[in-house]
A and B are shown apart, each in its own frame.
Chain A
Amino acid sequence: MGRTRNRRHRAWGCGAIVVCALLAIWGATAIRPLNAAQPGEELAITETPVGRMGGSLVIALRSEPKTLNPALAVDDPSREVLGCLNADLIDINRQTLKTAPALAKSWEVSKDGKQYTLHLRRGLRFSDGQPFNADDVVFTFQVLLDEKIHSPQRDLLVIVDKPIAVEKIDDYTVRFSLAQPYAAADRIFDGIAILPRHLLEATYRDGKFPQAWSLSAPPSQFAGLGPFRLKEYVPGQRVVLERNPYYWKQDKSGNRLPYLNELQFLFVSNEDAEVIRFEAGDTDLLSRVGAENFTMLQKQQAAKGYHVADLGAGLEYNFLFFNLNDLSSKGKPEIAAKQAWFRDVRFRQAVSEAIDRADIVRLVYAGRATPLWGQVTPGNKLWIDSALPHPQCSLDHAKELLRSAGFSWKGDGTLVDPHGKAVEFSILTSSSNAQRTKMATIVQDDLSHLGMNVHIVPLEFRAMVARLLNSFDYEAVVMGIASGDADPTSEMNVWVSDGETHLWNLAGKPSTPWEAQMDKLMQQQEVTINYAKRKQLYDRVQEIVSQNLPVICLVSPNILVGAKDRVGNFRPAILDPYVLWNVEELYVR
């Protein structure tokens, strides 16, 4: 590395001498960024093939970002842009799905698993040239944990009701203390942007942090540790980022990343508009498209100089579930009466076996999806329980199950329960999600072969959520959850009975022995540090889900992306941000 640096210096020749002279005059504040590492700068070195410097790329965003303040952003477009402007301490490598050093070059965990000591890279600078050190880290976490700021990331940092404590050991060492051991503690740093204290502290002290870094703020007010910095924001049209000359990564031959000079995000109105712009050559990258658009693009890829890629199952799982909430206080006698069916595990098993998941894959996703029998998708190779049984779609067996539960059929094929009541229920879906409505249409048709009279009720998303979470005025729902991370701790909310997304029963406590067991297993895995032991615990959770079917998992859509052939180092991943996670390594051939 040293040799490379020397060569670079020589190449600069008299330019470097001029720089030195300027430095001598203006002092240390005017350090001119150089392509190669500066003395005392601990840069990260990437392993990817060396690219070409320069050039620019364009990508579309399906809506305009709501803010450029990383502590407040919740919407996907904002997060996508902010991911290029900022950096985190520890990163989840999108290809291995394991943690990797970022701004922290290394870290240690204390024996009791409660203390994480992070060693920061030395000599790094924000995109405005100001130095980065432990004070920025402490400031960032102070802001995020401040309840008045209402940062969406605060939840991540509160582990078992206790916020993480941050303390500065020295300028380049920070210690995080947890109230109890937490298996995935290193993963929570992923995506937490480190803020520049020198720019934001005064604003924060004045109580104006929520207004800081809005879309109307001039680019000179921003600084980050990401590969790019803000150049221009044109409302309603685009946001343009330029190369951060102080970025802290370099490639194998000593080029400071990123390779690109410019990255442009175009605002488009929807997926179809994004596809049309890509097809027309206006954009270079395609972040995530539906299966039909993918098939259409695939047909012309050779002729048009781009390629599309099917990365296989992502982390999203779509499922059907029944209302198992206690409705005694809700005054819904009709739904409560039907719960006698829903609560019978044989009924749920029969429904699961009657649904043809392969047809959902074929008809809803044009084959670009993976059938599921548990909540962990095949994309999540670290955690999937591959021993989980995959019962075949079988109407006969489903009928047998129903018969054993006391159901029978009338002459016209209608299924009736032991009291002679015809089985009829409705499935809610979100009308804004075409795929789920289609899924429900297939489920409805499949269940009609069992003699069930199923109605599909499409509702506007918020109206649907209100019924799920507040009024419990529903019978069954088709919906999906897209995990933010591969680790099971990101699923705690769903599988622990007091979780906010424990959708089928929001009583806050287990109402069956298997739910109590799941609670115990999930809590145990959260504090178990050893991966193999955790895997065992989570495998057991997956088994319980697939046997008791509180949710009937259906399919996981594949992650479908695309790029022009001229984009180098294009290595898309199944975890968000799918194509931009290695934006610093992308280059134009």
Chain B
Amino acid sequence: MQRKYKFGVVIFLLVVVHAAILFAGFFAPYGYATQNRELPFAPPTELHFVDQAGKWHVRPFVYALADDSDNPGAYRTDLNTRYAMHFFVQGTPYKIAGIFASRVHLFGVSDPGRVFLMGTDEFGRDQFSRFLFGGQLSLLAGLLAAALSVSVGIVVGGIAGFYGGWVDDLLMRGGELFLALPWLYLLFAVRAALPLHVSQAQVLLLLVAVVGLIGWARPARLIRGVVLSAKERNSVLAARGFGASDAYLLRRHVLPEAYGVVLTQITLLIPQYILAEVTLTFLGLGVGEPMPSWGSLLASLQQYYVLSTYWWMFLPALLLIPLFLAYYSVADAVQERLKSVAL
């Protein structure tokens, strides 16, 4: 009962997060490219309900930020200027799913006030908005690429492990060849063949294709190992004795043994692939400025001054941890369910 309840919370959280990312334009108070050049590296804005005089406000408000003249690069809160928070406000135009245009944002404060729930980056762009928009591409690309590489891995690894012999040799040596290829130079060639400016949809396809295709060999090896041991089990031998076909054996008895490996692989690969996008961006195959991606939000942490000076730049990374844990617990639950069904 306890477990079910927890699982419900996790699912709810995931739905909320995905909805926020899918409708990033609505949930984000600002556009991902909107610069506030007077407010670079501003800390997260605090929401208040009680003002200086101790008076309660039903509507939350924020204080204005001003340059701290004693301390260049830092800000002080101007307690005399308050901006109330409003809901369903008009703001930067955006499109949902690339089709429905709108200007309505879930929340915002009256101009010239600004609300930065996760602070701002070096151009004064709202990190919260960038986190939501960045998720659109990173999450989709990460999920699809992981799904692609693991499915190719299941097919190749499953066949190689199940049939063995020259099929195994051929597929596995092929996989090793893939691992050994000098990808860097191949990717240079891919970039040179592409047009100068690559649109966002093309970037998504590219990321999925490149990351998925490079990545299938490792899961394939793992799955082959599992299949190799599973096909010798008594249950499998018995089923074969009763005349089960290869396809049936693979589907019903052998591959289910690999579920655990597949799920852990996917959960490990998604964050890895989100970061791989940074490398691809370096080669000109990912998203460039001003488009955000989770990879680029995390990459800014590689700089020492960001790491040591602006703690809020960690927030995207910190938010990703519960998200991936949630994925993992869903994967775990699915595995449990499958096991109980199989039994």
Contacts and interface: CB of A to CB of B under 8 A. Distances in A.
A463 B190 CA distance: 11
Interface in B290-316: 290, 303-306, 308-309
Interface stretch (A111-119, A288-296, A373-381, A577-585): A288-296
A458 B281 contact: yes
A366 B304 contact: no
Interface residues of B, number: 28
A460 B187 CA distance: 11
B48 interface: no
Q: Which 7 residue pairs spanning A and B have beta carbons closest together?
A: A272-B304, A292-B305, A459-B284, A441-B289, A426-B197, A455-B197, A456-B288
Given A426-B197, A442-B123, 8 more contacts: A296-B304, A296-B305, A428-B196, A437-B288, A437-B289, A456-B289, A456-B290, A460-B283
Given A296-B309, A441-B123, A463-B191, A474 B289 contact: no
Contacts of B289: 437-438, 440-441, 444, 456, 458
Interface in B183-230: 188, 191-192, 196-198
Contacts of B306: 292
Contacts of A434: 303
Interface string B257-288: 00000000000000000000000011110001
Contacts of B197: 426, 455, 457
B11 to A, nearest CB: 38
Contacts of A458: 281-282, 284, 288-289
B336 interface: no
A143 to B, nearest CB: 35
Interface residues of A, number: 39
B281 A431 contact: yes
Interface of A: 272, 275-276, 290, 292-293, 295-296, 335, 356, 359, 362-364, 366-367, 426, 428, 431-432, 434, 437-438, 440-442, 444-445, 455-460, 463, 466, 473-475
A428 B283 CA distance: 12
Nearest to B93: A412
B37 A363 contact: yes
A445 B281 contact: no
B33 interface: yes
Contacts of B332: none
A34 to B, nearest CB: 47
A459 B192 CA distance: 10
B8 interface: no
B304 A460 contact: no
B113 interface: no
Contacts of A364: 122
B335 interface: no
A153 B191 CA distance: 34
B73 interface: yes
Contact of B288 (A272, A290, A457, A473): A457
Contacts of B281: 431, 458
A441 B196 contact: no
Nearest to A432: B282
A474 B196 contact: yes
Given A460-B188, A460-B283, A275 B304 contact: yes
